[in-house]
A and B are shown apart, each in its own frame.
Chain A
């Protein structure tokens, strides 16, 4: 069969002379694809002799001329190819080492179909952040044509800046940046800093942080549930009348700030690998945090300590955020900047949600409908958290996610409706019922004093 093919292809060359081809003819194609790692470059070479070049290439491999390519001959040729390369990194010469090689049958090469494959690697000594790799290929240069390329590095600390070549591609320069080296040298110019910052994907991590809150219904549910009783005063062991607007605002701000402080601390520690808590435990504790805040919304179990609850459970939520960041396989420096960007994204989304819901809460708390909303919300949160606890502890499927997500997917409409209802309630009740109630209250001795003197902001 091979003989037939050989005859056919030979015939094709002979008949049509130089012009009839389906294959390479008088060139030796040498195609290299580099792949860059930290302090190492690997290359895979394909060498394809054209039909007219093949006999000479074969003769160069089959040095004893017995028509068979022995292992030694193949190894020697592969080594010769490497010897014909010159590789430098930042001007310093490095030695390529053979990794693997494979040779086609001589007949295939004669047909213009044979592909010699050589893989080699070279260790690159440590250097600055801006590196320059130069590869010159002198192997059989008179008859050769070249292709030189580099694959997109897997390691995101490596950024390809430029590829330069001579017109034949036999000389190739690869300029790249090695991020980890930036601070080691700390000599980077302003342009380096900008390039480095661009490489951090700040905005995509920021968006990821936002999305994480928007889609992480458990985080939001915790925060919203904790905010439910925030505009109220405590009356004995129950929730009482609304606090002043300023006081409510300060208390909500305090809760949100405390939550942020809590999760920032653990997000940073966990993302840097200082602490590690098993994912499942974290997820269960998050569900517990929702349950606690739901119970608190029903009856003030920890009056005046909302900010501390927020800070404490913030620590736990931070561990979960870190797990998300962990899955992104960020490099060391990317990670530090990543924490910042990701956290800012979380904050932004949190503020957006709180701002959207805050006026409704304060308005609504001034109507008799508020206990219904508060208890309803708390019961819903409690049910959801119980579902999650069961799900995360026992590894079973419950409909909780589906139900909560159904609500969350209509979050905007719910928020708008809530706002309209609270506006309507405010207008309906503000003029009559509540005024009388307030008057009643004013005439009575005060039931309680404000939750705490500093409006619920913990002394951090």
Chain B
């Protein structure tokens, strides 16, 4: 009798566990849709029209960049253009869509932009502090030799009427929707600005974060006396993977050429490049686990239910994943690497590209799924 009861309990538990994961994902989608609807309800009719695009609006879908919004205008409306209750609702929506880790990352990227607005870049002697107002440092370094005689720069002279308020700051981040929030039909939420582009496609119980760009300048700064590094783990964990490699593995992983920028940055959708470096099948179990943990820095930006599905896919793909590194192989955890690295798999491209002007303090990263950017694989079905 007891065994019989146990069997029933066991069967029920088994059934529940098999059906619960999609059910949980489904309730998560319902939560997100409700948060999105609440945000949209705070908007005026005019704002709402500005913020919602057609789901198949290819132009808006690709309207994201690493540049400040003053340089590359985004669609939708910015936090700056919102009232306090609207902003609260927008942030609540982000908190629902993203994981706590993801939201923290987003907020630190925004805070870096606040810091940049006040302090500018800090490279070189005398760096730091607000840059002086006044006439431009004439001629910069002079024309590069091969251009000699081609004529000087033709920037308009005199102090321009420029306000950093229009260019940088944590409130210059824009929210937009492609399609109406729905628990069944696919739609997209975009949130982005300088150094940030989240493109989240939600199709039923599935949530897809690719393509997403993160970045920071400064990539290390002080806020209220505390050091903040928005992309710290992206740097530290990758360095740890590199340092865990033996001589033979390292030889394969470290590329012998410079990679000056993202290969598959903004505008480079739908491209599958041949992977290079060290194949994860040549790594031991511990190194593979570290690699997965590194991928989780991007995959884990979204809420746990979407992130878990993505990580399961990453785990299944792991033997086909590649790790490539270009640049200095020395460094220590806690300060940003100056090297470029790339993780690639059948469903993954991650790039980490320190920028030439300030390598330790200016980083762009890219996160893609060449088979499912903008949820293309889900939408097709």
Contact = CB atoms under 8 A, between A and B. Distances in A.
Interface of A: 5-27, 29, 31, 33, 52-53, 55-56, 59-60, 65, 110-111, 113, 115, 140, 142-143, 145-147, 149-152, 160, 163, 165-169
Contacts of B13: none
A140 B145 CA distance: 10
A127 to B, nearest CB: 20
Given A145-B258, A145-B356, A149-B274, A12 B167 contact: yes
Interface in B218-275: 256-261, 263, 267, 271-274
A56 B162 contact: no
Given A60-B150, A163-B274, A23 B71 contact: yes
Contacts of B259: 147, 169
B137 interface: yes
Contact of A59 (B150, B194, B356): B150
B157 to A, nearest CB: 10
Contacts of B267: 115
Nearest to B261: A29
Given A8-B162, A10-B156, A16-B131, 13 more contacts: A7-B162, A18-B140, A19-B124, A19-B127, A19-B357, A21-B362, A22-B66, A22-B67, A33-B263, A147-B259, A163-B274, A165-B256, A167-B258
Given A13-B155, A165-B256, A21 B274 contact: no
Nearest to B121: A19
Nearest to A169: B257
Nearest to A154: B272
B267 to A, nearest CB: 8
A325 B206 CA distance: 33
B32 to A, nearest CB: 31
B146 A140 contact: yes
Interface string B145-173: 11100111111100011100011000000
A147 B120 contact: no
Contact of B272 (A16, A27, A151, A169): A151
Contacts of A19: 120-124, 127, 357-358
A145 B357 CA distance: 13
B154 A55 contact: yes
A165 B357 contact: no
Contacts of A16: 120-121, 131
B260 A29 contact: yes
23 contacts: A7-B161, A13-B136, A18-B140, A19-B121, A19-B124, A20-B116, A21-B357, A21-B362, A22-B71, A24-B261, A25-B357, A26-B140, A26-B141, A26-B144, A31-B263, A52-B153, A110-B154, A113-B67, A140-B146, A145-B261, A145-B356, A152-B273, A167-B257
Contacts of A24: 261, 356
A216 B273 CA distance: 36
Given A33-B271, A152-B274, A15 B194 contact: no
B163 to A, nearest CB: 9
B167 A52 contact: no
B276 interface: yes
A149 B131 contact: no
A11 B162 contact: yes
Contacts of B274: 149-152, 160, 163
Nearest to B357: A21
B143 interface: yes
Contact of B271 (A5, A146, A151, A168): A151
B72 interface: yes
B286 to A, nearest CB: 28
B334 interface: no
Nearest to A48: B261
B68 interface: yes
Interface in B348-369: 355-358, 362
A245 to B, nearest CB: 41
Interface string B18-57: 0000000000000000000000000000000000000000
A107 to B, nearest CB: 10
A391 B369 CA distance: 40
Contacts of B305: none
A163 B259 CA distance: 14
A24 B261 CA distance: 10
Contacts of A55: 150-154
B311 to A, nearest CB: 24
Contacts of A167: 256-258
Contacts of A115: 267
A24 B217 CA distance: 13
A18 B139 CA distance: 11
Contact of A142 (B145, B153, B194, B271): B145
B85 interface: no
B3 to A, nearest CB: 22
A142 B146 contact: yes
Contacts of B162: 7-8, 11-12, 15
A150 B273 contact: yes
Contact of A52 (B66, B123, B133, B140): B140
Given A16-B121, A20-B121, A152-B272, A142 B144 contact: yes
Contacts of A166: 257
A79 B127 CA distance: 42
Contacts of B257: 165-169
A17 B131 contact: yes
Interface in B58-81: 66-68, 70-72
A111 B71 contact: yes
Contacts of A165: 256-257
A48 to B, nearest CB: 9
Which are the 10 A-B pairs with shortest beta-carbon distances?
A11-B162, A56-B147, A19-B121, A14-B136, A145-B260, A59-B150, A11-B160, A165-B257, A149-B273, A19-B123
Given A55-B153, A149-B273, A10 B146 contact: no
A33 B270 CA distance: 12
B258 A168 contact: yes
A113 B67 CA distance: 9
Contacts of B256: 165, 167
B132 to A, nearest CB: 8
B260 A56 contact: no
Contacts of A163: 274, 276
Contacts of A143: 144, 146-147
B260 A27 contact: yes
Contacts of B72: 113
Contact of A18 (B67, B68, B273, B357): B357
A388 B71 CA distance: 63
Nearest to A140: B146
A39 to B, nearest CB: 19
Contacts of A65: 151
A147 B155 CA distance: 29
A208 to B, nearest CB: 18
B274 to A, nearest CB: 5
Given A151-B272, A152-B272, A165-B257, A10 B155 contact: yes
B71 A9 contact: yes
Most chain A CB within a 10 A radius of its CB, from B127, B151, B358? B151
Interface in B318-377: 355-358, 362
B347 to A, nearest CB: 13
Contacts of A147: 259-261, 263
B146 A151 contact: no
A22 B72 CA distance: 11
A13 B160 CA distance: 11
Given A12-B162, A14-B136, A15-B133, A21 B273 contact: no
